Amino acid sequence: MIEKEKLENLFAEIRESLDYHEPDSGHKERFFEKLNAKNTSISDVRGRRIRWIKSLSIAASLALIIALGAYIGNAEPTMEEQVARISPEASNTQFYFANLIEEQVKKLKEEVSPETLKIIDDTLLQLKNLEKDYKELERNLIQGGNSKLILSAMITNFQTRINLLNAVLNQIETIKILKNNSNENTI
Amino acid sequence: MSLKNENTDALLELCLKNDQCAQMEIYNRYFKAMYNTAFRILKKNDEAEDVMQESFLSAFTKLHTFKGEVAFGAWLKRIVINNSIKSYRAQQKKNEVALESIIHKVKDYDEVTSDHAFSELKAQKVMETMEQLRDNYRISLTLHLIEGFDYEEISSIMNISYANCRTTISRAKESLRRKLQISQ
C-alpha cells in the first residue's frame, strides 16, 4: 500500500516534466500545409455544391437566366471567391466593372420605348452571351489555365460589355433626338 | 491565468471563422503537450506527429461542438488520445515492429545532471521504464497516471470491460514498480 502511494506521488512529482519530447523539425510548416489544404478543400466542396444547385435553378427558369444575365454582380458568389483567391486584383476589377455595368443596364432599361425595344432586347442578349463567355473564362482560370492570358481576356470581356452598353446608349440618344426632330418637322 | 484563458477563447472564436492565423496560434500553444500525449501511446515520432496534427485539424472541424464544459486543452487531448488509440490499433494490425523496440536506446545523461534538470531526468527515467512495459500496460498506465482518467473512462477509451481495466492497471502498476526498483 505504501508502495502504491509512492507511485502516485512519483507521477505527481514528475508531471510537469513529462512533455520532454519534441516533434521533428519543420512540423509547423507541415501542419500549415495540411491546414491550408483542409481550408481550401472545404470552400471547394461548398462552392461545387452551390454551383450545382445554381445550375439546376438556371435550367429550371429561363426568366432567372435573363435576371442573372442582367445582374452579373449577383451571380455565382462562390466562383468569385475562388477567382479572388487566384487573383485578388481580378476580383476587385470584376467588382468595379460589375457595378458599372449594372448601372448602365439600369439606365438602358429606363430607355425602353416602342422605338428602342428591339435594340435593348438585342443588347441584353449580347450581354448575356458575353457573360456566358466570362463565366467560361472564370471556370478555366479556376481549373488552372494560363492565368495571364485568361485574366486579360476577362478584362477585355468587361471592356467589350461596357463599350457595347455605351454604344447602345449613344444610339438610343440619337434615336430620341431623331424622333424629336422628326416630330418637330411634322408639326 | 484568466487573461491567458480569455486569449484562448478569443482565438477559438476566430478559429470558428476558419481564421488560419488563429488556428496556427492554437497549434503553437498546444502542439507540445499534444505531441507528447500521442508519443507516449504510439512511441514513434512520425506517427505521433501525424496523429497530433490530424487531431488539430479534426478539432478545428468540429470546434462548434466544443461547449466549454471542460478546458479546451482537455477537450483537444481527448481527441488526441482517441486518435492515438485508433492509430495504435491500426499499427498493431499491420504488425509493424518499431525499430526502437528492437534496438535498445542508449542515451547519454551526463550532460543533464545539473540540479534544476533533476526532475526532468527523473521523468525521462520513469518514461523510459514505462516504455519497457507491455503495450496495454503502458497505455493504460499513461491514461491513468499521466492523463488522469478514471477506470470508467479508460475502459471506454481502450474498449475493454471495467473489471479488465482495473486488473490491467493494477498489474501494470505492479510491473512498473518492480522495474523502477531494479533500475534504481
Higher pLDDT pick, B18 / A71: B18
A-B Cβ pairs (cutoff 8 Å, strict): 89
Tell me the average pLDDT of chain A: 76
Report the alpha-carbon distance of residue B143 to residue B165 in Å, rounded.
11
- The verdict on residue A3 lying in a domain is no
Please tell me which residue of chain B has the smallest CA distance to A8: B145
| Region B121-148 average pLDDT | 90
pLDDT value, residue A18: 87
The answer, for A5 touching chain B at a CB cutoff of 8 Å, is no
Q: What is the CATH number of the domain that holds B141?
A: 1.10.10.10
pLDDT value, residue A140: 84
Give the range of the structural domain holding residue B77, as residue numbers without chain letter.
1-103
Residue B9 has pLDDT above 80, yes or no: yes
Residue B101 has pLDDT above 60, yes or no: no
The answer, for A26 touching chain B at a CB cutoff of 8 Å, is no
Residue B78 has pLDDT above 70, yes or no: yes
pLDDT value, residue B107: 44
| Region A41-46 average pLDDT | 61
Confidence of residue B58 (pLDDT cuts 50, 70, 90): very high
- The verdict on residue A109 lying in a domain is yes
What is the percent of chain B where pLDDT is above 70? Answer: 82
| Region B114-131 average pLDDT | 76
| Region A33-38 average pLDDT | 88
Q: What is the 3-state secondary structure (H, E, C) of chain A?
A: CHHHHHHHHHHHHHHHHCCCCCCCCCHHHHHHHHHHHHHHHHHHHHHHHHHHHHHHHHHHCHHHHHHHHHCHHHCCHHHHHHHHHHCHHHHHHHHHHHHHHHHHHHHHHHCCCCCCHHHHHHHHHHHHHHHHHHHHHHHHHHCCCCHHHHHHHHHHHHHHHHHHHHHHHHHHHHHHHHHHHHHHHHC
Tens-place pLDDT, residues A108-167: 888 888 878 888 888 888 889 998 988 888 888 888 777 788 888 888 888 889 888 888
Tens-place pLDDT, residues A64-79: 555 555 555 444 456 6
Residues B88 and B148 in one domain: no
- The verdict on residue A112 lying in a domain is yes
User: What is the total count of domains within chain B?
Assistant: 2
- The verdict on residue A74 lying in a domain is yes
Residues B6 and B93 in one domain: yes
Confidence of residue A47 (pLDDT cuts 50, 70, 90): low
Mark residue A158 as left, alpha or beta (left: phi above 0; alpha: psi -120 to 50; beta: remaining).
alpha
Residue B17 has pLDDT above 50, yes or no: yes
- The verdict on residue A14 lying in a domain is no
The answer, for B48 touching chain A at a CB cutoff of 8 Å, is yes
Give chain B positions within 8 Å (CB) of A32. Answer: 24
pLDDT value, residue B164: 94
Residues B170 and B99 in one domain: no
Confidence of residue A4 (pLDDT cuts 50, 70, 90): low
pLDDT value, residue B112: 42
Higher pLDDT pick, A57 / B52: B52
The answer, for B62 touching chain A at a CB cutoff of 8 Å, is no
Residues B166 and B93 in one domain: no
Domain closes at, from B82, B103, B124 = B103
User: What is the total count of domains within chain A?
Assistant: 1
Residues B122 and B157 in one domain: yes
Give chain A positions within 8 Å (CB) of B177. Answer: 3, 6-7
The answer, for A39 touching chain B at a CB cutoff of 8 Å, is yes
Report the alpha-carbon distance of residue A94 to residue A83 in Å, rounded.
10
Contact at 8 Å (CB) between A127 and A166? Answer: no
CB contact under 8 A, A35 and B28: no
- The verdict on residue A8 lying in a domain is no
Give chain B positions within 8 Å (CB) of A4. Answer: 173
Residue B65 has pLDDT above 90, yes or no: yes
Q: Which three cell numbers stand for residue A1?
A: 500500500
Residues B8 and B88 in one domain: yes
Residues B135 and B86 in one domain: no
Q: What is the CATH number of the domain that holds B77?
A: 1.10.1740.10
Tens-place pLDDT, residues A78-124: 666 777 777 777 777 777 788 888 888 888 888 888 878 888 888 88
Higher pLDDT pick, A171 / A70: A171
Higher pLDDT pick, B52 / A119: B52
| Region A9-33 average pLDDT | 88
Confidence of residue B166 (pLDDT cuts 50, 70, 90): very high
The answer, for B176 touching chain A at a CB cutoff of 8 Å, is yes
DSSP state, residue B87: H
DSSP state, residue B158: H
pLDDT value, residue A71: 56
Tens-place pLDDT, residues B150-160: 999 999 999 99
Residue B109 has pLDDT above 60, yes or no: no
The answer, for A118 touching chain B at a CB cutoff of 8 Å, is no
Give the range of the structural domain holding residue A130, as residue numbers without chain letter.
33-186
